[in-house]
A and B are shown apart, each in its own frame.
Chain A
Amino acid sequence: MPRVSATPEAAKTIERLWRQHGSIVFHQSGGCCSGSSPMCLRADELPPGPNDVELGEVAGVPVLIDRDLYDSWNSPDFRIDVATGAADNLSLEGSDGVHFVNLAG
């Protein structure tokens, strides 16, 4: 059974984003410039695709990942943290000058 969790700091950021944007989700990135970070998007912006699986919820927010990506990573547990500095992508927390990271290991 895959597990996802968030650090208390990440949970606070997630709750703030929920109050600001309404229904949000995490989509785990496959990589490139932002490295393999969890992307926080509005739920209506990127509806789950047929190949997305939900790993669980953190602070009430679903965490989705492409099934093939998850398999190729050998299905680790995810722990989502938040760090200073905005990553340069469309993830919503960037407006607050922070970025989510995945401490999966």
Chain B
Amino acid sequence: MSTIEKQDTTIPAPGQHDSPVELRERYDNFIGGHWVAPSSGAYRENLTPATGEAFSTIADSSADDIELALDAAHAAKDEWGSASPAERAATLNAMADAVEENLRMLAVAESWDNGKPVRETLAADIPLVVDHLRYFAGAVRSEEGRVSEIDKDTYAYHFHEPLGVVGQIIPFNFPLLMAAWKIAPALAAGNCTVLKPASPTPWSILKLMEVLEGVVPPGVINVVNGPGAEIGRALASNKRIAKIAFTGETVTGRLIMQYAAQNIIPSTTELGGKSPNVFFEDVMAADDEFLDKAIEGFVLYAFNKGEVCTCPSRALIAESIYEPFMERVLERVAAIRQGHPLDPATMMGPQVSAAQLDKVESYVKIGLEEGAELLAGGHRPDLPDELNGGYYFEPTVLKGTNDMRVFQEEIFGPVVSVTTFKDEADALAIANDTLYGLGAGVWTRDGARAFRMGRGIEAGRVWTNCYHQYPAHAAFGGYKISGVGRENHRMMLDHYSQTKCLLVSYDQKAMGFF
């Protein structure tokens, strides 16, 4: 059982004196460039996972508010859609600049709403938001159509045109980054969006819209908060969207695709994973920087407290190095500093909600009942009084076999399930023995082996001698039940456009049919 202590360097929480984040008591929806109260007048408390306490109230919207947001988006779409690529790029770059100027404020807000450590939001989440906006600003400037010469008098001119208004539903695990992943390509391609943030993390996105208010034309981005059961449904099944994009769980993914099928619109989905992290014998060939990096690579299952669709939640270790590698790894796990998310020294914060915490705890129980061995963690840690109501769980390591439920089901917490393999063929078979196919990690000093494994693993993102890097310009998305579509790459501009073909004849003569 580990103990958490708080340090004096902790950044003051939103609302406290000297906090970089200003806090209001109540937040409305952001529609048509204005803050608009929910139609029903209802608001809901928003809790911080650090302490379990309410710190603000957020609009609790209904289907009517989705209609208002769609009205605003439709009112804005012609002007935004016909803006030049240079104008759209300038807006995206201005958005990136505004986020960068407010980086610290947004990092603290994100950390408080989600529980992730401010160390991660400052170094990863918010800088990546800036990067993704700038990437798509650049990508859209280089977009071109095509011309096909059919014959000397007949030409096909192909243009990319916006879809119009899109619906986007994002998860709680990286609220601002997931918003950026969705908004950047949608806007770059000339669309307006209605965004529904996740209910546990409705607030940091509103702080983002406060920053972007003066930069984005009214109606281009609209944000509506409320219960998924009502407004998620109202948005995804609406006849007034031309596309739905969704990141979340598998059954909802199927439902989203069903709505899209009924409305004959495209959908893209990102649905979760049970990503294998494969460590070959040669990582221990020398006790050097690379071995140190591989050890960190294992421990990255604790990044964002394991609430990542690509969490490297299955670690596959070559039998021959299991003992010495695990000895080094467990030392590194024991050194994970849990604590107040706004303490810059904290490495791992609380889970996002009580429900998630309960789920993680029950999976550890299931694992032990199935015969898995507990190598580290497995409990709620001791907490100082201040953090008593927070949703903390120890970084946990289980050892077992790939057929166990804790190897097949997505836990979405700081729990890694470890097993061994005999050789490369065995490693590949175990890696692919899963219904999912989102991420994977391969660690080896042998480049040819890395290539063979990378091409053999059935996942959309295979990190090779690294993990948890999400730069723009690197395509990201799932195989198998992990979803359909790719993000973070200019290919997304196609997902958010439609192709117009002008088939033009310069021939003056009739065809001769009638």
Interface residues of A (CB under 8 A from B): 27-37, 39, 41, 45-46, 49, 68-69, 72-74, 76, 83, 85-95, 99, 101, 103, 105
Could you list 14 examples of A-B contacts with CB < 8 Å?
A: A27-B254, A29-B252, A32-B171, A33-B248, A35-B355, A41-B255, A72-B408, A73-B405, A74-B404, A83-B355, A89-B229, A101-B355, A101-B358, A103-B362
B residues contacting A by CB (< 8 A) are 171-173, 198-200, 227-230, 232-233, 236, 248-252, 254-255, 258, 271-274, 307, 309, 353-356, 358-359, 362, 365-366, 369, 403-405, 408-412, 434-435, 481
Other-chain residue from A39, A88, A103 in contact with B251 (beta carbon distance below 8 A): A39
Tell me how far the C-beta of B415 lies from the nearest C-beta in chain A, rounded to whole angstroms.
Answer: 12
The contact of B272 among A32, A94, A103, by CB within 8 Å, is: A32
Which A residue sits closest to B482, measured CB to CB?
A32
In the docked arrangement, what's the CA distance between A70 and B3, Å? 38
Contact (Cβ within 8 A) B228 A94: yes
The smallest C-beta distance from B150 to any residue of chain A, in angstroms, reads 42
Given contacts A30-B481, A32-B272, A33-B172, contact A88 B410 (CB under 8 A): no
Q: Choose from B229, B405, B411, B434 the contact partner of A91 (Cβ within 8 Å).
A: B229
Given A29-B251, A93-B229, decide whether A46 and B405 contact each other with a Cβ distance below 8 A: no
Give Cα distance in the complex from A68 to B409, angstroms: 12
Q: Complex formed: what's the CA distance from A104 to B331 in Å?
A: 33
Q: Are A46 and B255 in contact (CB under 8 A)?
A: yes
A29 touches B355 (CB 8 A): no
Question: Nearest chain A CB to B432's CB is how many angstroms away?
Answer: 13
Task: State the Cβ distance, B484 to closest chain A Cβ, in Å.
Answer: 14
A39-B252, A88-B198, A94-B227 known; A31-B409 Cβ under 8 A? yes
- Of A27, A73, A89, the most chain B CB neighbours within 10 A belong to A89
Instruction: Give, as a whole number of angstroms, the nearest-CB distance from B491 to chain A.
Output: 23
Contact A34 B248 (CB under 8 A): yes
Known: A33-B198, A94-B227. A69 touches B252 (CB 8 A): no
Interface centre among A31, A68, A105 (most CB of B within 10 A): A31
Provide the residues of chain A in CB contact with B355, threshold 8 Å.
35, 83, 85, 87, 99, 101
B408 touches A90 (CB 8 A): no
Query: Least Cβ distance of A39 to chain B in Å?
Result: 4
Q: Are B248 and A89 in contact (CB under 8 A)?
A: yes
The answer on a CB contact under 8 Å between A31 and B410 is yes
Question: Besides the contacts A31-B412, A74-B403, A94-B227, what 19 more A-B pairs have beta carbons closer than 8 Å?
Answer: A27-B254, A30-B481, A31-B409, A32-B410, A32-B412, A35-B249, A46-B251, A46-B254, A72-B409, A72-B435, A73-B405, A74-B404, A85-B354, A88-B198, A88-B199, A90-B252, A92-B229, A95-B229, A105-B366
CA distance A91 to B230 in the complex (A): 9
Chain B residues within an 8 Å CB radius of A86: 199, 227-229
> For residue B228, which residues in chain A have a CB less than 8 angstroms away from its CB?
86-91, 94
CA distance A27 to B199 in the complex (A): 21
User: What is the bound-complex CA distance between A72 and B249, given in angstroms?
Assistant: 17
Q: Assess the A45–B369 pair: CB atoms within 8 A.
A: no
Q: Is the CB of B249 within 8 A of A95?
A: no
Whole-angstrom CA separation of A67 from B228 in the bound complex: 27
* Residues in B neighbouring A94, C-beta threshold 8 A: 199, 227-230
Residue of A nearest to B255 (CB): A46
Query: What is the bound-complex CA distance between A22 and B133, given in angstroms?
Result: 45
Asked whether A36 and B435 contact (CB < 8 A) given A83-B358, A90-B255, the answer is no
When distances are taken between beta carbons in the complex, the residues of chain B under 8 Å from A105 are 362, 365-366, 369
